[in-house]
Structure 1
């Protein structure tokens, strides 16, 4: 048993601090999802083309990338708490300005400001919680951030539902309501202490750090923790810079962090979240039932994120990653199998469902035919439709003809989301908040966060093209292969950090 393990911790105080800081995750999730309900309103008001609409939704990612890059260095220089206060202010400004915007350019600027807040919140909140939490609680407390992201997404959907029928421009209310939790977050952050590790390592304020640590775990805990922190200070390493993360001694850490950041997104989670209704429509569901199933997906994500929080400090990070990635692979193979065994039947009833008259006429001579794969169907249609109509068919009309085991598709997607929610979702942020030494933590976590956002952006941009051009069978097959590679990566490279202090993790990973 380690000295810390026998000490009595003030769990309620530490949990309260962590919950306050993790409100940044709530705002992140809310800001990311709330735009879905405002799309029709902003399209009409700002007279947007498709390209303008796409950019107004996606520009948040560019803001997040900028936030990823600057948040870490700013947190190292000014402290985690001050940067989080700035993040809360950015969310409040973005929500208010988005709701009051009278021009397209104003709206875009307001959205990008919110994106910068997202980029900062997703990195700095886990860092702060990891630095203030006792080792045996750290995994669960850091996972509060991921839980709040999931709750924020769900609350945004419910908020949009209740505000959509308001008189006037309801989209302004949808976007503006975020200012309320943002202001609460801004004010609440003034009640939390600064990170004791940052106070000692950056400002050498040992007495102030000791007072904070005593509130968390008592006098003995404070003395032991300060001694561990000062071990790192005694190394007298210069301030970290970007080039440091490429040093050989940090190579294992960077492989772990970049690898987990890559696999968290490349396995397709945001594609499934953003396009869940599209996937269920591809499986032959109606628009209403598809959106209902998408809500079930969100609730599944929430429930299993809670399961992850319960397990992460009991079972450990690596076992959760291995279990979750394994079931993600199985789920994606199930989805690929379901779509691979689908048939496409052309008869009087299915042809009547086609809304485009030109497409309906071109398909009329297929009446009575059946195709056992999407590939053979597309081959048969290439000579019947021009490029634009063919694309329209693949996007909108193909669902009229598919016969598929829709229940298997739903089970596969729910299993996939549940598996992600207990593994790559929360565990990634816990791991990257633990593995970096304080010297390079700010800059390194910014680089990893930027890389994670870049992979996420790439996946969500490519997914609609994959569905239309490769078909759902091959699309889910590709994600299944990538999930299997994630299992191999975790097994070979990821270490277990459960129960270890941040200083112990550093000693384990940094090559001397």
Structure 2
């Protein structure tokens, strides 16, 4: 068994040097359309925090929060503490978690394209429900549908991008999903800044405009091909080869096609893959796969991006200032992503991982030191 694995790996490396092809317009367009799904995720992250800080939205659905907000000059503590508001924000992520588990077998059995289209349709329905909501139930139901769309999109789109991209540009093109996510966050912040001035239905426009990237993803998904890998997995090897020739712009795809066939056969030969991954020999990879994204989330960056306008308002910023500050945060995030794209295939993933970790450590230490220093001068309270 070990000898077989070694032989397969060796052949794969030798074949990789024989890969032919170029970055065709077909690949670029497919990746751009697919990465629009990242814009959906980013738009919802950016839009929700701004909407929950709008007075008209709070008056409509959460009047108690609005009253607490108006007394912020008396007590600025937990003015957004409300179970209904928490359900509005968290329902998307709970639905997304469940949907991502459902999306995995669907994506494997029916292809990446089906999951992308399904995610886009679900997001369209969620956008319509939120924009036209007249009660909290309708609002939360819309959030659930958005979560389903995000779950399917986040599961299928990164896989689609990595399988369509040429091997030497896979890192950069695969990061288009992250670029779209950061661009969606920044766009949402700018839209919130404009729609908050539209009384009393600006929040409906903010939520409803999520239908634009959802429509692009859905329509684009209808015209997109599936990936060669997916076609081969589903027993359509000849069709997969023709598609590979098309997206690489050459007939000389024997080496890459054979690697795909070998990988598919190897995957099918593995019994109980989820049980195997718990074996001792795979434990380092499993631990890293779980804890790396977990630790990134535990830094609090997702909470900051999601609740940015609310957080800035709680700190004493005005309505315009809080939304502008949120837009600046999104702008920095988007610009740093472009730096990563330009360097990921040149420097490697490990360099970016280590440098990003060092930056986060530095910021956390500086933040803690600054808060303690301010508390010494009784400017803020710090535990």
**TM, length-normalised to structure 1:** 0.63
- Aligned CA distance change for structure 1 residues 73 and 232 (closer, same or farther; 3 Å): same
Give the drift of 1:298. Answer: 1.4
Give the drift of 1:240. Answer: 5.4
- Mark the runs of 5 or more structure 2 residues left unpaired by the alignment: 1-12, 65-81
**Cα deviation code 1:31-56 (max 9, x no counterpart):** 22222333233322235552212211
Looking at structure 2, the residues matched to 332 and 156 of structure 1 have their Cα atoms a distance apart, in angstroms, of 26
Residue aligning to 2:224: 192
Q: Is the 8 A contact 1:10 1:217 kept in 2?
A: yes
Report the RMSD for the aligned CA atoms in angstroms. 2.6
Residue aligning to 2:367: 335
Q: Is the 8 A contact 1:80 1:124 kept in 2?
A: yes
Give the drift of 1:126. Answer: 0.4
Pair 1:12 & 2:25 matched: yes
Q: Is the 8 A contact 2:158 2:177 kept in 1?
A: yes
Q: Is the 8 A contact 1:213 1:221 kept in 2?
A: no
Give the drift of 1:63. Answer: 1.2
Q: Is the 8 A contact 1:31 1:178 kept in 2?
A: yes
Matches within 5 A, 1:464-503: 471=383
Matches within 5 A, 1:82-97: 82-97=114-129
Larger deviation, residues 277-286 vs 153-162: 277-286
Give the drift of 1:73. Answer: 1.7
Residue aligning to 2:59: 44
Give the drift of 1:218. Answer: 3.9
**Cα deviation code 1:285-331 (max 9, x no counterpart):** 77755543332221111101011111111111011101111122122
Within the candidate set 202, 220, 230, 1:170 is matched to 202
**Cα deviation code 1:197-242 (max 9, x no counterpart):** 12112x2211111111112224455211121122233434157564
Within the candidate set 49, 52, 56, 2:88 is matched to 56
Q: Is the 8 A contact 2:36 2:216 kept in 1?
A: no
Give the drift of 1:7. Answer: 2.8
Looking at structure 2, the residues matched to 182 and 78 of structure 1 have their Cα atoms a distance apart, in angstroms, of 21
Residue aligning to 1:34: 47
Q: Is the 8 A contact 2:119 2:152 kept in 1?
A: yes
Aligned length: 350
Within the candidate set 106, 110, 114, 2:146 is matched to 114
Looking at structure 1, the residues matched to 231 and 21 of structure 2 have their Cα atoms a distance apart, in angstroms, of 23
Residue aligning to 2:262: 231
**TM, length-normalised to structure 2:** 0.83
**Cα deviation code 1:426-456 (max 9, x no counterpart):** xxxxxxxxxxxxxxxxxxxxxxxxxxxxxxx
**Cα deviation code 1:341-394 (max 9, x no counterpart):** 22455xxxxxxxxxxxxxxxxxxxxxxxxx5xxxxxxxxxxxxxxxxxxxxxxx
Residue aligning to 1:314: 346
Residue aligning to 2:7: none
Residue aligning to 1:24: 37
- Aligned CA distance change for structure 1 residues 170 and 275 (closer, same or farther; 3 Å): closer
Within the candidate set 324, 327, 343, 1:292 is matched to 324
Pair 1:217 & 2:248 matched: yes
Looking at structure 1, the residues matched to 141 and 312 of structure 2 have their Cα atoms a distance apart, in angstroms, of 34
Looking at structure 1, the residues matched to 224 and 37 of structure 2 have their Cα atoms a distance apart, in angstroms, of 14
- Aligned CA distance change for structure 1 residues 47 and 277 (closer, same or farther; 3 Å): closer
Pair 1:150 & 2:182 matched: yes
Residue aligning to 1:268: 300
Q: Is the 8 A contact 2:45 2:306 kept in 1?
A: no
Looking at structure 2, the residues matched to 304 and 220 of structure 1 have their Cα atoms a distance apart, in angstroms, of 38
- Aligned CA distance change for structure 1 residues 159 and 286 (closer, same or farther; 3 Å): closer
Looking at structure 2, the residues matched to 90 and 118 of structure 1 have their Cα atoms a distance apart, in angstroms, of 9
Q: Max radius of gyration: which structure?
A: 1
Give the drift of 1:243. Answer: 3.5
Matches within 5 A, 1:249-264: 250-264=282-296
Looking at structure 2, the residues matched to 296 and 134 of structure 1 have their Cα atoms a distance apart, in angstroms, of 34
- Mark the runs of 5 or more structure 1 residues left unpaired by the alignment: 346-370, 372-400, 403-467, 472-512
